[in-house]
Every structure is written in structure tokens, then in C-alpha cells.
Amino acid sequence: MTPLNMPEWQSLVRHYSDLKYLSMREQFVLDSDRAEHFSLKSGDLFLDYSKNRVTKETMEKLLSLAKAVELPNWIERMFTGQEINNTEGRAVLHIALRNRSNTPIMVDGKDVMLDVNRVLAQMKDFSDKVHSGEWLGFSGKKIVDIVNIGIGGSDLGPAMICDALEPYGIEGINVHFVSNVDGTDLSTTLEKLNPETTLFVVASKTFTTQETLTNAQSARTWFLKAGQQHDVAKHFVAVSTNAKAVSEFGIDTNNMFEIWDWVGGRYSLWSAIGLPIALYVGFDNFARLLDGGHEMDNHFRTQPLEQNMPVIMGLLGVWYINFFGTQTHAIVPYDHSLSRFPSHMQQLDMESNGKVTNRQGQRLSYKTGPVIWGTPGTNGQHAYFQLIHQGTQLIPVDFVLPVNSHYPEYDHQSILLANGLAQSEALMKGKTAEEVRAELVSEGFEGKELEALLPHKVFPGNRPSNTLIFPKLTPELLGQLVALYEHKVFVQGTVWNINSFDQWGVELGKQLAKAILPDLQSNDEISVHDSSTTHLIKMIRALRN
């Protein structure tokens, strides 16, 4: 099935042709209540999508497309544990990890909530022991540093959450994240730590991930310079399903926190992969994060499509990617605590929807996922915003703005918010040649000097953006925000008829790396590669010697 052949898609093709030059500035003049007509709320999260190149008719047609691809049915299939990850024969149940209502979710005749609640109780018990001092290091000292060793979803999600919730951190507990197999990452982390007071969380579902196990083995070597082999169990815990490999490493399997195959890595921060979050901010705050995710889940599952925040954001993305031909999407949080938020969303979106075949294995003839990028607010204004404002590419932007700061003693928040709001307004309005001319005249420019400068100061405007506003970045709000983007990605994958929950694209590089590694570690005859790779291996050998 291809959406291109649907009448609803073809209707959007014709509609785009009619309004591709629609002026948002004019639309705001024609409709003084436009902001009210194109906005909605979920809990404490408010979305203003009025600064998009859409009309009421556009949204009706996009919603008709969502119904045509049976989006409500796909949502229900996910929430009821059906195998919507068809290439791996799995359910997709990150929503179960934050199912605070405890409504049974059945997979193969078993309620998965029994296992979810068991692991949550284990996480609470363990984090409480660390905080109370019941769990001590081998020399009897309290744990003060948590080092998470993982990669991909076992790193980015928890790291982003810990950064964002820094104001909620438990006093006396520090958290560190090591993911890169480059020894610099581990070395620069360990050089600041004391092995007697450090706890390592090794996060690998299979306990075979090369980068993670390499870092974990090196961390154990570092630890054993101070402790004994039997002390490893007091300083290393695991998030995995491979009890045998965990035990062989020296970790007590009683301190192995289970994760299931229906949890994708980029959706796993809600699971035991979130153990460093619970250790850093306390289990109660981790539970509040789950509460927020569950609130967004209920909104996504129960609200009609036209009042459904993930649906609206997902359909707007389809509108720009498939009809305007955009290739990238910027996410710009005006909150320094959310510095890693764009990176997490990058993995979430691009690993989920970076696909070239549909669910049936047929090659696609239309675009799917965009390149996701961004950085915190005002920093970006002094870097890439030039391209967004006056470049030749159309780049939709999400502005993410908390109204209140956790650090009100410095009166910066109004300046921060003014900048965020001004950027979205400037992208929409732009600045016409007439406005620039009047401005230059008022500044004393005239004649050839004025005419030469004028075109450089014109802003085309009509550049789309969404604005997300919320009172304060709390654990609940952060849970809502992350779940919002997770569901947005699912909406787009459903429209494109792709499986958003596998990631075969990451496998090939791993396979080839295993073949290249022996060639780098010895001077034996090089195995068969292309001429470029062979030449590079020889050069590396020569430089190393």
C-alpha cells in the first residue's frame, strides 16, 4: 500500500498547488483569532501551530489522510500489544513501561505489567539503598558517583533526562555517562573518580554490544587496581537480559535489571535503562517522569485526531516533507537544561523513520524521515538561524519554551522568552523591501548606498514553526514532552506505511567493523575489502608503527 495512490493524498497534492505561496502574514490579518484556531493543550503543555503554512482546509485534508491510513486503528494496535514491529515479530510496548493505571496489557497470553512492576520495584529498592547508605562500596564508603556505560538509546535518553532534571538531583550524588568507544571518553571520566565510591551501571540488552562491553571491561580493569575481583559485585550492576554473560563479568545477577525485546533502545529510558535517572534524582522523581509520559499516552489514545497533539505535529511534518520538499527539521529548546534534547530527538526520529522500504518490503518512491537537528535557543540565534531566516532552504522549527526557570535569582528568563518568541514571529513575518527601505531612510541612508544595502536586509518570512510552552520543566512535564515526540514519530511512520520500530540500518557498519578489527590489530595479510579501505588500513598500520 502506498499513500501516494490514496484520494486523500492526491487531494493534498492539488491543495498544495493552490496555496504553496500562501502568506502566513496575510492569514493573521484575515483571521484575528488564528492563534486560537490553531492551538491546543494537553495537561500543562500548550502547542501553538498557527505559524504554519496551513488553512482550516489544509488541516481537514491532513486529518482525512490520517483516517485513510487507519491511524486510530494503528494507535490501538500499539496500546493493545499487537505485533506492529513486523520485521522482528514484536509488540511495541514502551507505553507499558509508564502505564501508571496498571491496566493489563497482554502479550502471548501474559500481562506484561507484572514484569514491568517487578522491575520498577527492584529499581526503587536498589536506588533507595544507595541513597540511604545501606548499599556501600567495598571499603564501607557511600556511593557518590554513578557511571552509566551504554550507547545509543542506553545512553542518550537517560543522559538527556539527567541533564534536564539536574535541579532535582539528590544531594551528594553525581552522574556520568560514557558511551564512546574512544578511550578519551572513559579516561577523562574516570580520572576524576574514586573507585571506592563509584557505581557502574552497564546497560546492554544482550550484554554483547562491542562499544559498551569494551568500556565496561576497561572500567573493571581500572576498578581492580583498588578493589578485588569479589568487590566487583558491589560496584557494578547491569541492565540486560543475558544473565550468563552478566555473571561471567562478575556482576551478581540479583543486581541485573531486566529489559524486554518489546522495548526499543531509543524508547527505553522509561525502563530499567532509566536506572541512572532514579539513582540521580530519586525513584519518586523517576515515577513522576513516568506519570507525565502516561498522561501524554492517554491524550494520544483518547483524544480525537483534530485535538490530538502528536497527531497534529506529525501531520504538519508530513505536509512539509512530502509536499513542500523540506529535508530537515530543527528543534530549539530555550532551556539550557534541555541541551541534549535535540540529540535524543535526533536518534528517536532518524533511527525510527529513516527507512527506504515500506512494511511490505517494497522500495519507497516518496520521502520519509527528515534530518533532525538543533541546539539550545539563544546560542543557535548566533549560529545557524541566519540560514533558517535568509537561506534558500525551508526549515520548519519547533520552539520549546518553559515560562519559569529553576534559577530565578538571575533575572534572565524574560530575555530568554522574548528571544524565542521574537524568532518565531520573525520567521513568520519576515521583513519586506518596503519595510527595509523605510528603516534605512530613518537611519540616514539614501541613493545608491541605500539601494545597494536594501536587498541584503530583506527577510522572505513565511517560514513555519511550532511553539511549545509550559509552566516549568518538571519531571511530569518532561515525561509529557518526550512521549509527545515519540508518538509524533509513530504518526508519521503510519502515514508513510513504514515500520518505525526496527533499525536494521545500524547493523551493516557493525558487521564490517568486526571484519576490519583483526586487520588493524595485526600485521597479517589484510582480508578482502575495497581498495580504499585496504589502503586506509595499510596507512593506519604504518602510522601506528
Q: Which residues are identified as catalytic?
A: 351, 382, 510
3-class secondary structure, 269: coil
Is 156 in contact with 347 (CB distance < 8 Å)?
yes
Cα distance between residue 366 and residue 10, in whole Å = 13
Is 265 in contact with 152 (CB distance < 8 Å)?
yes
Placement of cell 497482554 in the chain: 106
Placement of cell 571518553 in the chain: 185
Supply φ then ψ for residue 366, to 5 degrees.
-140, 160
Placement of cell 557511571 in the chain: 147
Supply φ then ψ for residue 452, to 5 degrees.
-70, -35
Placement of cell 533499525 in the chain: 503
Q: Which residues contact 494 (CB under 8 A, 6 or more apart)?
A: 66, 69, 70, 71, 74, 500
Cα distances (angstroms) measured from residue 325 to each of 6, 121, 328, 367, 410:
19, 48, 10, 8, 43
Q: DSSP class of residue 540? A: H
Cα distances (angstroms) measured from residue 282 to each of 39, 287, 315, 340:
35, 9, 37, 21
Is 185 in contact with 178 (CB distance < 8 Å)?
yes
Cα distance between residue 522 and residue 518, in whole Å = 6
Supply φ then ψ for residue 34, to 5 degrees.
-55, -40
Q: Where are the alpha helices (DSSP H) in 224-268?
A: 232-235, 243-249
How many alpha carbons lie under 13 Å from residue 247 in its C-beta half-sphere?
6
| Cell numbers at 479, concatenated | 515525561
Q: Which residues contact 210 (CB under 8 A, 6 or more apart)?
A: 181, 510, 513, 514
Q: Which residues contact 116 (CB under 8 A, 6 or more apart)?
A: 96, 97, 99
- Name the E strands within 210-324: 236-239, 256-257
Angle, helix 475-495 to helix 309-319, in steps of 10 degrees: 50
| Cell numbers at 41, concatenated | 493543550
Cα distance between residue 326 and residue 370, in whole Å = 8
| Cell numbers at 389, concatenated | 531566516
Cα distances (angstroms) measured from residue 156 to each of 262, 273, 367:
19, 10, 26
Distance separating the N- and C-terminal Cα atoms of the chain:
56
User: Helices then strands (H, E): number in the chain?
Assistant: 24, 13
Cα distance between residue 333 and residue 35, in whole Å = 21
